[in-house]
């Protein structure tokens, strides 16, 4: 189809304050995005922040998690991209592309970048959240130097350019739409990602495991974008019965749910797994980059998940080919991965919270597998965390460990929790928990963090002892990261308190919320002997110390966290 010459109009606009991208893009309530030119300003600012000679004639990928406002936003991006000289846009069918699929498309098609339309795990719908994020040519989130440049542009923007005659409202049919010097191609949302997964895993081994009557799997897409991937990959390709997929129709408001795969917001799956109905249960978030994995009556902590995957890297065909170049975790993630890195004698890195910090290490060939406590796991196959990849990793590890058992119908299969317990026996266990206090008053949260920072900077905490002197503070700081590749410095990345036994308490304000503030407190305690305790019990003294030191209740009025992981 041909649309002729582009009709470009320049439109005057006014500056909106507060368009600073957070941990992962700009996330606000939908109603804020619906203000006149609010989204348009941000999109134009992306192009203004990039060198114009790069933008001219470039290829971009656009897609999102299907949440409310996605469809309108896609049309705005088409118009602004065309007017700014972009040559071609690849957009997912029906506008749908998971965050990992976008990363794989950018890399395989050598696009200049991508615009992702998602607020990830935040609720959607007209009263929920919307988000927009710019990814660079390596397929990963833009680094802070670029997001800061975009933000600066939003503060001085005066005009927006738009190609008024560019519009493809019906994104359901795969095909190409052309104008003079500009085109839009609607691509299958799954093909490119599926090809990559087939290259990473042994699909025939996975099929064998899934078809075995002794192994049952349940997958919950939480009404996010992963539903379309799960149907094609888990069901059509790997043979999982469609009855074992739940919430796999993407919905604009996630069926009125909160698409955050954790113990609080995935109650249906958690309940089934607690009742022991399945051997493995998995969930992913709105845009498909997060994952939660459960065993039969067993919660797999994300910090343990990445450590076990790393320890079993030889089970995964991709790593058999590439080897293990290095391991990394975000600072608040438990230290479980470090024990694996030491044992395998591979380089280890600790970066701030945010997947963007892993990209440089991967591009430099120094990092293979990484993870975050926030249900994010991934590798250098792309530059985003990857929910379905983590599920396939676990299936591959299970298939590999059960190779002999799978051909002997009377043998008992090794379970997910067997593998994790063996891991603890070998490496010791990092008991871990995170407390989230969501949407607290921002002023109270800031004051609490300031008071903690003051105690840290004055060094008054060093030497303080708690609980019959079992815990003594030996180090504390305001985490700062020196990127070993581009030498950039990222400051104020969380307050750390370290004890003489290696235990850690970390305080951070979330960078992904859209209103008020969310306080996160993380607890990490290593044990080599008692391996099967309840984490909340095991960590109770540390939790007590953290609440005491921060005076959280006094500053926020909150007695209980909303979410405990």
Residues carrying an active site annotation: 120
CB proximity list for 24: less than 8 A, separation 6 or greater:
120, 131, 133, 141, 354, 355, 356, 511, 512
Among the candidate windows 88-96, 174-182, 222-230, 285-293, which touches ligand G16 by CB under 6 A?
Answer: 285-293
In contact, 388 and 377? CB cutoff 8 Å: no
**Nearer CB in complex with ligand G16: 121/525:** 121
Among 442, 511, 527, 543, binds ligand G16 (CB under 6 A): 511
**Nearer CB in complex with ligand G16: 217/509:** 509
**Nearer CB in complex with ligand G16: 368/510:** 510
Angle at 46 between CA 44 and CA 47, to 5 degrees: 65
**What's the distance, CA 14 to chain centroid?**
33
Instruction: Give the separation between CA 417 and CA 300, rounded to whole angstroms.
Output: 8
Specify the DSSP class assigned to residue 263: T
Half-sphere exposure of residue 442, counting CA atoms within 13 Å on the CB side?
Answer: 7
Among the candidate windows 319-327, 342-350, 477-485, 506-514, which touches ligand G16 by CB under 6 A?
Answer: 506-514
Interface pattern 373-412 for ligand G16 (x via CB under 6 A): -x-x------------------------------------
Interface pattern 292-331 for ligand G16 (x via CB under 6 A): --------------------------------------x-
Among 372, 380, 386, 483, binds ligand G16 (CB under 6 A): 372
CB proximity list for 82: less than 8 A, separation 6 or greater:
6, 8, 163, 166, 179, 182
Q: Would you count residue 289 as binding ligand G16 (CB under 6 A)? A: yes
Instruction: Give the separation between CA 251 and CA 294, rounded to whole angstroms.
Output: 24
Q: How far is the CB of 255 from ligand G16 (least distance, A)?
A: 19
Kindly determine how many residues on this chain lie close enough to bind ligand G16 according to the rule CB under 6 A.
18
Among the candidate windows 77-85, 105-113, 250-258, 349-357, which touches ligand G16 by CB under 6 A?
Answer: 349-357
In contact, 228 and 189? CB cutoff 8 Å: yes
Q: How far is the CB of 520 from ligand G16 (least distance, A)?
A: 6
Q: How far is the CB of 209 from ligand G16 (least distance, A)?
A: 28
Q: Would you count residue 24 as binding ligand G16 (CB under 6 A)? A: yes
Instruction: Give the separation between CA 560 and CA 436, rounded to whole angstroms.
Output: 9
Interface pattern 181-200 for ligand G16 (x via CB under 6 A): --------------------
Q: How far is the CB of 374 from ligand G16 (least distance, A)?
A: 4
Q: Would you count residue 224 as binding ligand G16 (CB under 6 A)? A: no
Q: Would you count residue 120 as binding ligand G16 (CB under 6 A)? A: yes
- What radius of gyration, in Å, describes the C-alpha atoms of the chain? 23
Q: Would you count residue 516 as binding ligand G16 (CB under 6 A)? A: no
Q: How far is the CB of 14 from ligand G16 (least distance, A)?
A: 29
Instruction: Give the separation between CA 156 and CA 381, rounded to whole angstroms.
Output: 38
Instruction: Give the separation between CA 553 and CA 529, rounded to whole angstroms.
Output: 34
Residue ranges in 335-415 assigned as alpha helix (H): 336-344, 356-363, 387-401, 403-406
Among 510, 514, 550, 556, binds ligand G16 (CB under 6 A): 510
Reported as type and span, the H/E element at residue 293 is strand 291-295
Q: Would you count residue 433 as binding ligand G16 (CB under 6 A)? A: no
**Nearer CB in complex with ligand G16: 193/215:** 193
Q: How far is the CB of 447 from ligand G16 (least distance, A)?
A: 19
Among the candidate windows 222-230, 244-252, 370-378, 538-546, which touches ligand G16 by CB under 6 A?
Answer: 370-378
In contact, 558 and 541? CB cutoff 8 Å: no
Among the listed residues 295, 321, 305, 331, the one whose alpha carbon sits nearest the alpha carbon of residue 478: 331
Among the candidate windows 50-58, 77-85, 206-214, 372-380, which touches ligand G16 by CB under 6 A?
Answer: 372-380
Length of the chain: 565
Q: How far is the CB of 30 from ligand G16 (least distance, A)?
A: 17
**Diameter of the chain by CA atoms?**
79
Instruction: Give the separation between CA 300 and CA 467, rounded to whole angstroms.
Output: 29
Q: How far is the CB of 106 from ligand G16 (least distance, A)?
A: 16
Among the candidate windows 190-198, 224-232, 504-512, 550-558, which touches ligand G16 by CB under 6 A?
Answer: 504-512
- What's the helix, strand, coil split of the chain in %, to 5? 35, 25, 40
Three-class SS of residue 496? Answer: strand
Q: Which residues, listed in sequence order, are joined to residue 10 by a DSSP beta bridge? A: 161
**Nearer CB in complex with ligand G16: 48/103:** 103
Among the listed residues 443, 466, 390, the one whose alpha carbon sits nearest the alpha carbon of residue 229: 390
Among 84, 353, 514, 565, binds ligand G16 (CB under 6 A): 353
Among 69, 78, 278, 355, binds ligand G16 (CB under 6 A): 355
**Nearer CB in complex with ligand G16: 121/538:** 121
Specify the DSSP class assigned to residue 411: S
Instruction: Give the separation between CA 261 and CA 337, rounded to whole angstroms.
Output: 21
Among the candidate windows 220-228, 282-290, 318-326, 438-446, which touches ligand G16 by CB under 6 A?
Answer: 282-290
Residues that bind ligand G16 (CB under 6 A): 23-24, 120-121, 285, 289-290, 330, 353-355, 372, 374, 376, 510-512, 520
């Amino acid at each position: 189809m041909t649309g002729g010459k582009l009709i470009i109009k320049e439109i005057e606009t006014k500056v909106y304050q507060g368009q600073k991208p957070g941990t992962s893009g700009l996330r606000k309530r939908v109603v804020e995005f619906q203000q006149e030119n609010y989204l348009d300003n941000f999109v134009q600012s992306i192009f203004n922040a990039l060198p114009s000679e790069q933008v001219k004639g470039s290829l971009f990928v656009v897609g999102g998690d299907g949440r409310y406002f996605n469809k309108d936003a896609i049309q705005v991006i088409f118009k602004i991209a065309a007017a700014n000289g972009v040559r071609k846009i690849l957009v997912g069918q029906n506008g749908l592309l998971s965050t990992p699929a976008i990363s794989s498309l950018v890399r395989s098609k050598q696009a200049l970048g991508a615009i992702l339309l998602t607020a990830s795990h935040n609720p959607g719908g007209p009263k929920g959240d919307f988000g927009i994020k710019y990814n660079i040519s390596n397929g990963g989130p833009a680094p802070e130097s670029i997001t800061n440049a975009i933000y600066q542009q939003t503060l001085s923007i005066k005009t927006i350019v738009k190609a008024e005659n560019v519009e493809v409202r019906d994104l359901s049919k795969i095909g190409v739409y052309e104008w003079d010097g500009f085109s839009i191609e609607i691509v299958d949302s799954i093909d490119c990602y599926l090809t990559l997964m087939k290259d990473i895993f042994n699909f025939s081994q996975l099929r064998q495991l899934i078809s075995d009557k002794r192994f049952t799997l349940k997958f919950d897409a939480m009404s996010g974008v992963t539903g379309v991937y799960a149907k094609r990959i888990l069901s059509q390709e790997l043979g999982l019965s469609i009855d074992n997929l739940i919430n796999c129709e993407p919905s604009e408001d996630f069926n009125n749910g909160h698409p955050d795969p954790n113990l609080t917001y995935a109650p249906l799956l958690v309940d089934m797994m607690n009742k022991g109905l399945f051997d493995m249960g998995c969930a992913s978030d709105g845009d498909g980059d997060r994952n939660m994995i459960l065993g039969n009556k067993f919660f797999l902590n994300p910090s343990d998940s990445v450590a076990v995957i790393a320890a079993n890297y030889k089970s995964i065909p991709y790593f058999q080919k590439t080897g293990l170049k290095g391991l990394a975790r975000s600072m608040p993630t438990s230290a479980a991965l470090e024990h694996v890195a030491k044992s395998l004698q591979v380089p280890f890195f600790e970066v701030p919270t945010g997947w963007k910090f892993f990209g440089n290490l991967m591009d430099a060939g120094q990092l293979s597998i990484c993870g975050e406590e926030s249900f994010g796991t991934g590798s250098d196959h792309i530059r985003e965390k990857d929910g379905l990849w983590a599920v396939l990793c676990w299936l591959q590890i299970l298939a590999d460990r059960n190779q002999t058992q799978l051909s002997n119908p009377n043998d008992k299969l090794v379970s997910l929790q067997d593998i994790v317990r063996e891991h603890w026996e070998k490496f010791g266990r990092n008991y871990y928990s995170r407390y989230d206090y969501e949407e607290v008053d921002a002023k109270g949260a800031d004051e609490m963090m300031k008071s903690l920072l003051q105690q840290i900077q004055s060094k008054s905490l060093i030497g303080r002892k708690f609980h019959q002197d079992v815990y003594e503070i030996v180090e504390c700081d305001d985490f700062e990261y020196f990127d070993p590749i581009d030498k950039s410095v990222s400051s104020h990345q969380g307050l750390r308190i370290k004890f003489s036994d290696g235990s850690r308490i970390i305080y951070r304000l979330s960078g992904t919320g859209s209103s008020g503030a969310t306080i996160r407190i993380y607890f990490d305690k290593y044990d080599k002997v008692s391996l099967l305790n309840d984490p909340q019990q095991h960590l109770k003294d540390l939790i007590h110390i953290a609440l005491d030191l921060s005076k959280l209740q006094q500053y926020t009025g909150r007695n209980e966290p909303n979410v405990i992981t």
